[in-house]
Structure 1
């Protein structure tokens, strides 16, 4: 279950509020000298509240509460309601009565008295929201935190909490928007929001089928660990049912470059997909990485069978690749050049891959978006980040553009 961020719960917060600490009513002159706001109390109000105070000081909290309720029934004056509930809060704290604490805070919040400060309002709403969460009253908690946002529009933590609560109530778009607003506020002064904020927003986008590029790249830029890259890219890959083997390889290439391949399935699928597309050098590299990492065990039949298959084919690719490149030079279109370029890319010959990708684009007959994407990969691996950005920006459609955005985020991390 997602957690609420930075909420102080229970009476501990209330004890810490100087504004609502136990109050002894003073003569009007002394009270007025200490208060920035002069309470507007009637003569009857002062007398009644004085009686409450006497009962309170005598330790008769039930008697004090009874007198407060009697007085509340006789007045609707904002300042009198505010002070009555302040005294009620004192009794609630002394008797450790959480329900009475909530009643008193609500009474002060709803009193309409100018004596209620902005700081008090925020603290009271925060405490009420936290207590509502303790009571499993998510709807009430959401209401309090929404009021807190109205009082403090730039409160990033309150915005995040509204996101969590909306998510629990299955208000998915409202949750996503609240997470986004919280992150924007946290980043407004150049800071970075907590990792969970980015993760929750991204996961919400995944579950609801929203666009993954903005929340995914923001998460990666803020917390660029291998684990984060793997989580984001595999979620992105799995969200696209129409992705071809070639496009799937582009995802694995990025996972490999950011050191995010970690599990058996990562390495095995990468190697198997590469060999199905006849890129046997790349397949062997992926397989060997998995073996060296301890993720792939050659004693397993399916791993040893894949290893044997690759080894039986890799010699042909190595011996034929240069002649294929020569043939691509005289071909009528760029299809052979693009395919051979990808073989060079998988073999680590990025310079030749760049040359052939550019030849393929010049000749035409190829998918411009995917070819530019792979051209960008080769340029990134060469360290030519300016040209790589240009190539990724040219991959401007559907699957290619979204993956290109993730490659651009990687380039930014290398060339920040």
Structure 2
């Protein structure tokens, strides 16, 4: 939800305190730059000044007493009285009273033209807060005709449509607000990403879900953020199991394995891919982290199955690598590369992914994605970024997530202190 600070609510108001202090005695008339002509009696000015002082001191009761005694007889006095009621309502955090006070201000001809657009926006916000959504939209439309069409107004429109259970109508406004915020060079608030992701998720637009999560992770990349993003993205229907496997690998690389389900799902995917040693290693890691127990049925059974297969898998790789080197296409080399990758032998994996790509006859997206990951895990972040940037098609999203991780590792490397030996 769009929220307004106390200072923002008051910033669109005419400076009542300055006006009442500047006005002269007995029905003074004074023209203020960009504002209305002041017509205020000495009696009204004194009471208004006292009310304003009480509001600034946080004394709502005294302010209320002074405001209740105001008897405006001119247009400007009516405006000033309404503005003071507004400020008192802000002090009391009474949104309904704030909205009523604004209506009273609008009934006068003394609202400064330069403040009118923002005040109409504030009126829209207050109508939204009190649940009058149709009036909120009407006030935003009015504010726009007066020239106020800032990003906060766009997000407020989205919130209003969401409150009206019209997510489809809200989504374009959220997308527009994000585009404006990016164009301004200002950071996009995490809550805005969450809203846009929720809408894309609801619309089944998984390409946008992935893109938004990647952008969000580029700014908010804690282990918890990674876990939430990947867990939600992994729920996309029809996702290739090999893609899922690489996303779980990314979750592990971020230290974001947080539950029994995470370790179990990762281990099962690895076993399904024929990576028995990797499945064994994941179960062992889950037990060490206290997320899995030796008596947990599913992983205990899996551990019993993969342990003997893991030893055979490791022993078979050298011979498979020799055959892959002599093969006509890259299929065998890709299989060997996947084997080395699953054993976390990333330099050897990168070598064989390159061999597979040079021989051809393989899924370019998969090979380049895993080449990029292997290079990144080997420490070649520049090479990783280049490989991942070449990925298109079904593997583009997983490559994109890993590319965000590479960027984060690059920033960490850039900020590592350089050790300098003391002078002898």
- Matching of residue 407 in structure 1 with residue 402 in structure 2: yes
Residue 90 of structure 1, CA deviation: 4.6
Structure 2 partner of 1:6: 4
Structure 1's unaligned 5+ residue stretches are 69-79
Q: Does the 8 A contact of 1:249 with 1:274 survive in 2?
A: yes
Residue 306 of structure 1, CA deviation: 1.1
- Tell me the distance in 2 between the aligned counterparts of 1:99 and 1:204: 30
Structure 2's unaligned 5+ residue stretches are 49-64, 412-424
Structure 1 partner of 2:264: 268
| Offset from partner CA, 1:317-351 (integer Å, 9 cap, x none) | 01111111112122232222111211100101111
Residue 244 of structure 1, CA deviation: 2.1
Structure 2 partner of 1:344: 340
Structure 2 partner of 1:169: 164
- C-alpha RMSD over aligned residues: 3.8
Q: Does the 8 A contact of 2:34 with 2:114 survive in 1?
A: no
Check 1:295–1:174 CA distance in 2 against 1; reply closer, same or farther (3 A cut): same
- Matching of residue 31 in structure 1 with residue 25 in structure 2: no
- Matching of residue 209 in structure 1 with residue 204 in structure 2: yes
SS at match of 2:329: coil
The count of corresponding residues between Structure 1 and Structure 2 is 388
Structure 2 partner of 1:77: none
- Matching of residue 87 in structure 1 with residue 84 in structure 2: no
Structure 1 partner of 2:359: 363
Q: Does the 8 A contact of 2:121 with 2:148 survive in 1?
A: no
- In the TM superposition, what are the counterparts of 1:24-103 in structure 2 within 5 Å? 30-32=28-30, 35-37=32-34, 39=36, 61=68, 64=71, 80=75, 84-90=78-84, 101-103=98-100
- In the TM superposition, what are the counterparts of 1:17-416 in structure 2 within 5 Å? 19-20=15-16, 30-32=28-30, 35-37=32-34, 39=36, 61=68, 64=71, 80=75, 84-90=78-84, 101-109=98-106, 115-119=111-115, 121-123=117-119, 125-126=121-122, 128-145=123-140, 155-184=150-179, 186=181, 190-210=185-205, 211-239=208-236, 241-397=237-393, 399-416=394-411
Once the two structures are overlaid, the 10-residue window that deviates more, 193-202 or 382-391, is: 193-202
Q: Does the 8 A contact of 1:245 with 1:273 survive in 2?
A: yes
| Offset from partner CA, 1:104-155 (integer Å, 9 cap, x none) | 4235346565x515346525632x3443244222343344456556667574
- Tell me the distance in 1 between the aligned counterparts of 2:313 and 2:95: 75
Q: Does the 8 A contact of 1:108 with 1:116 survive in 2?
A: no
Q: TM-score, normalised by structure 2?
A: 0.77
Check 1:302–1:101 CA distance in 2 against 1; reply closer, same or farther (3 A cut): closer
Q: TM-score, normalised by structure 1?
A: 0.78
Once the two structures are overlaid, the 10-residue window that deviates more, 180-189 or 402-411, is: 180-189
Check 1:191–1:336 CA distance in 2 against 1; reply closer, same or farther (3 A cut): same
Check 1:149–1:380 CA distance in 2 against 1; reply closer, same or farther (3 A cut): farther
Once the two structures are overlaid, the 10-residue window that deviates more, 243-252 or 195-204, is: 195-204
- Tell me the distance in 2 between the aligned counterparts of 1:246 and 1:332: 24
SS at match of 1:118: coil
- Tell me the distance in 1 between the aligned counterparts of 2:11 and 2:345: 68
